[in-house]
Amino acid sequence: MNQEAKNGEGRGRRRSGNGSRRRRPRGRKAPGQDKPPKNSNGDREGQAQGQKQEPGKEGARNGNRQGERSERRRHRRPRDRNRGSGAGRPPREQKKNAQQRQQPAGDSAAVKSAPDKRGGRPERQKTSKRRIWLEARDRETSPWFTARSEGGRPLRFSVLFGSKTWDPLARKPARDAVEGQWTKSVQLNQVHGDQVHLVGSTAHADTFPRDGDALVTRAPGLALVIATADCVPLLLADRRGTTVAAVHAGWRGIAAGLPGKVVQRLADAFQIQAGRFLAFIGPSISRQGYRVGDEVVQQVAAALPENGMEGVLHQEEDGPHLDLEAAVRAQLIAAGLHERSIYGGLPSTDDPADLFHSLRRSGGTAGRMHSMIYLHASEEEEAPPPDQTPKQEPDEPQGPPERRRRPPRRAR
């Protein structure tokens, strides 16, 4: 062995007295070294030993880090205990009191009418929904009743209930009183049954059979007429004003379920839900003046739904009395109409004011009142005649039709 190898071995290792090699302990640092030596995994040995010897240091470091984060957040955005309830802003009551202090006495109305802070826009006016009711026209001279709407889209049909002194067939109302006019009227030979007739057009009004108690149409300007004295005149229309119907409902028609059959016929023929219909009930006899026998009560009760006689049958001292208007309402609700879509409450035919014809009160010699419903004719713009349409010259070059360009697709 050469001298250089001996010198290197002597510098690197020291031999003990018995000839064995003695290594330097791992935890000590060599003179002149600031960092501990690395082990085979590349980690500092002192770090591992420090973690084992001093386990509280890591928790102290994490605590210091969390404290630094909370300190940053505190400087970034100040927190408040009442932050969820609008911290940093004065309550509404304090604002109101401050405004009243700034405003001089006697100007409290100016505070209420102050403009909105969002761009100084005025307060919005609440738009009321469409309200429909039956209104009496010319009550003093010639009373008659019609449907009226307020707010929202106006009605596209007209409803007329006549009286003793006013008949829609004999005296047509003025244009300022009724919207639209009818061009032709059709009336049935009422037989107190359950026949329903569909009238397709004004030309068809002269060809269909006349015996029946219900009329249905979608033809604009065609008025459907019902004649009554004590029975219930029922007029139906959908909300969009595309279909109307007129029904003569006496106690026999109610026992046959005529009001519900008409609603079902309209729903099946024109694919209209029953809840989209409006019903108008005209003047009829009151329950006080309509005493009936037990056979009539049984037939009407069989045509009404379960518990339908509540409010319809009234036991008086002289016998059972029926409320025909309540019976018609019960059948319409059972057919699918909403209770708020049924309008009535007009004076009865046996009212002391003597406004209407009543068969029972007069002893069988009374006249008849006419009720009417019709669709408004749509005002369509007249197309120019074919002779006035401009024609294209033959020598003008005609190119291929332009293709429609699609917009470019957006990148997702």
Domains of the chain by start residue, with CATH: 131-375 (3.60.140.10)
Question: What is the pLDDT, as a whole number, of residue 283?
Answer: 95
Q: For residues 78 and 395, give the distance between their C-alpha atoms in angstroms, rounded to a whole number.
A: 81
Cβ atoms 258, 245 nearer than 8 A: no
Question: What is the pLDDT, as a whole number, of residue 80?
Answer: 53
Q: For residues 300 and 328, give the distance between their C-alpha atoms in angstroms, rounded to a whole number.
A: 11
For 122, 260, 328, the CA distances from 222, given in Å and listed in that order, are 47, 23, 25
Highest mean pLDDT among 8-12, 101-105, 179-183, 264-268: 264-268
pTM of the entire predicted model: 0.62
* Amino acid (1-letter code) at residue 338: H
pLDDT of 108-123, one tens digit each? 444 344 444 444 444 4
* pLDDT reading at 149 higher than 70: yes
Least confident of 78-92, 270-284, 306-320, 356-370: 78-92
User: C-alpha dihedral over 66, 67, 69, 74, to 10 degrees?
Assistant: 140
pLDDT of 165-196, one tens digit each? 888 887 666 555 666 778 899 999 999 999 99
| Cβ count near 110 (within 10 Å) | 11
Neighbouring residues of 110: CB distance < 8 A, sequence distance ≥ 6: 103
* pLDDT reading at 243 higher than 90: yes
3-state secondary structure (DSSP) of residue 200:
coil
